[in-house]
């Protein structure tokens, strides 16, 4: 058994712990394990990163550093470690396979052959903005530098990987790279998501606060849905999508007169990336099969296949089940790629167009370990 990895500072350890416990889609977030290899006849041990996220061929590596060193030196430390590991990983040697364990004790093993996109994130103990780091513009890699409190701010609103990517890409493309601009945008991002779904108003005005909390919780951890179905969608929802879903489910459930669902309803929501279908029905009602089939048909229509589809079915037998948890979840056929990968590909495409526009050779973005912070 390998010796334990070096500890982060107590402050950063708390940030990581909160992020692991509170982020949405945490089942796909892993603490990395150290790896051993032989070099010049000696057995050596090293660490790939502090945390990683994995799903749909996308790997996001997080490395944290907090010290009295300058921001540039902290970034260099993180980048050197991540770059060294990725170079070893690309050799496809089994000893360099990325391995980790999530907070539920589930282990994950990722050989490089299973990797399609890499996002490497350096997190430093300084108040700075989010910036893109140099890399080959034609690669499938994105390198980012950010303050470590970004994870803390994401944990405060149970942010998902999609939320992290949307915030990071916005800041990278913004002319203002300051820490103040970053924190202001996160507040704007959260407020906009909640206001668009009216969750706060519904919770207060109609006294459904407990139901809102339960619906939110069961969206990530449904009681009656198997793990495979849940993991197909749960990591891939942004805050605004989750908020709209919770608001819609709240209205639909109470309109159906729970807990026995006197009435059945179907609701369709078309988002920018996802097409959601929600349905309520009693398992023993005469229209059960029709409601489910109609919901599946609506899911398959999904705007001529232009949107990914998810069907959330809230059904009950009347035996005291928790009606606030979906009873079944179906993901549309022919699912192409996750929303996370979609946004990563948009960023990669934009980067390549800019590179082509200025006719830069692909090798110009090599690591020179020079980081400038304003």
Q: Are residues 31 and 58 in the same domain?
A: yes
Q: Is the pLDDT of residue 238 over 70?
A: yes
pTM for the full predicted model? 0.86
Q: Give the pLDDT score at 66.
A: 82
Cis peptide before 174 (omega within 30 of 0): no
Of the residues 194, 212, 229, which one is the last residue of a structural domain?
194
Q: Give the pLDDT score at 115.
A: 97
pLDDT 10s digits, 101-159:
999 999 999 999 999 999 999 999 999 999 999 998 889 999 999 999 999 999 999 99
Q: Are residues 15 and 95 in the same domain?
A: yes
Q: Give the pLDDT score at 8.
A: 60
Of the residues 177, 194, 211, which one is the last residue of a structural domain?
194
pLDDT 10s digits, 351-369:
888 765 444 333 333 233 3
Q: Is the pLDDT of residue 228 over 70?
A: no
Q: Is the pLDDT of residue 2 over 70?
A: no
Does any domain span residue 3?
no
pLDDT 10s digits, 287-345:
899 999 998 888 877 655 667 888 999 988 767 778 899 988 888 765 568 899 999 99
Q: Exposure pattern of 138-166 as b/e (b: 16+ CB <10 Å)?
A: beebbbbbbbbbbbbbbbebbbbbbbbbb
Of the residues 194, 220, 245, which one is the last residue of a structural domain?
194
Q: Are residues 35 and 71 in the same domain?
A: yes
Residue listed under structure tokens 């167009």: 353
Selected residue with higher pLDDT from 225 and 53: 53
Compute the average pLDDT of residues 21-33: 93
User: CA-CA distance, 368 to 266, in Å (whole number)?
Assistant: 56
- Contact yes or no for 246/273 (Cβ under 8 A): no
User: CA-CA distance, 312 to 245, in Å (whole number)?
Assistant: 10
Among 30-34, 79-83, 239-243, 267-271, the range scoring the smallest mean pLDDT is 267-271
Does any domain span residue 1?
no
Cis peptide before 131 (omega within 30 of 0): no
Does any domain span residue 222?
yes
Does any domain span residue 359?
no
Does any domain span residue 366?
no
pLDDT 10s digits, 170-224:
999 999 999 999 999 999 999 988 876 654 444 444 555 668 888 888 888 888 7
Residue listed under structure tokens 């070099």: 39
- Give me the domain span that covers residue 95: 10-194
Total domains in the fold of the chain: 2
Q: Are residues 25 and 124 in the same domain?
A: yes
* pLDDT range class, residue 6, cuts 50, 70, 90: low
Q: Are residues 40 and 81 in the same domain?
A: yes
Does any domain span residue 361?
no
Q: Are residues 205 and 250 in the same domain?
A: yes
Q: Give the pLDDT score at 359.
A: 40
Does any domain span residue 360?
no
Q: Give the pLDDT score at 275.
A: 86
Does any domain span residue 374?
no
Q: Is the pLDDT of residue 374 over 60?
A: no
Q: Are residues 162 and 204 in the same domain?
A: no
Closest-CA residue to 253 (of 286, 204, 208): 208
Q: Give the pLDDT score at 367.
A: 30
Query: Helix 209-220 to helix 199-206 angle, to the nearest 10 degrees?
Result: 140
Q: CATH number of the domain that 138 lies in?
A: 3.40.91
């Amino acid at each position: 058994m390998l010796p334990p990895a070096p500890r982060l500072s107590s402050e950063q350890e708390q940030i990581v712990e909160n992020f692991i416990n509170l982020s949405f889609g945490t089942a796909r977030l892993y603490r990395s394990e150290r790896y051993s290899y032989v070099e010049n006849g000696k057995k050596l041990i090293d660490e790939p990163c502090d945390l990683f996220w994995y799903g749909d061929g996308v790997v996001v590596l997080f490395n944290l550093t907090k010290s009295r060193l300058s921001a540039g030196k902290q970034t260099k430390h993180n980048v050197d470690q991540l770059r060294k590991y990725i170079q070893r990983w690309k050799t496809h040697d089994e000893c360099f396979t990325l391995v980790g364990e999530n907070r539920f004790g589930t282990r994950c093993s990722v050989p490089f052959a299973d990797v399609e996109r890499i996002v490497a994130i350096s997190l430093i103990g300084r108040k700075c903005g989010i910036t893109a780091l140099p890399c080959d513009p034609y690669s499938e890699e994105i390198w980012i530098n950010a303050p470590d409190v970004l994870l803390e701010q994401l944990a405060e609103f149970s942010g998902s990987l999609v939320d992290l990517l949307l915030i990071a890409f916005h800041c990278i493309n913004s002319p203002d790279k300051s820490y103040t601009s970053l924190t202001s945008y996160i507040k704007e991002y959260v407020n906009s998501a909640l206001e668009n779904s009216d969750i706060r108003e519904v919770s207060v005005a109609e006294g459904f606060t407990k139901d809102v909390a339960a619906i939110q919780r069961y969206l990530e951890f449904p009681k009656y849905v198997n793990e495979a179905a849940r993991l197909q969608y749960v990591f891939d929802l942004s805050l605004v999508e989750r908020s709209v879903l919770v608001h819609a489910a709240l209205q639909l459930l109470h309109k159906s007169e729970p807990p026995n669902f006197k009435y059945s309803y179907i609701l369709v929501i078309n988002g920018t990336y996802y097409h959601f279908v929600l349905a309520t029905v009693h398992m023993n009602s005469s229209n059960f099969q029709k409601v489910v089939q109609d919901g599946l048909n609506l899911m398959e229509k999904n705007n001529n296949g232009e949107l990914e589809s998810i069907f959330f079915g809230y059904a009950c037998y009347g035996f005291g089940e928790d009606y606030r948890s979906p009873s079944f979840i179906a993901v549309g056929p022919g699912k192409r790629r996750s929303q996370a990968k979609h946004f990563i590909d948009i960023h990669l495409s934009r980067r390549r167009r800019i590179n082509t526009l200025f006719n830069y050779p692909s090798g110009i973005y090599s690591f020179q370990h020079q980081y400038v912070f304003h």
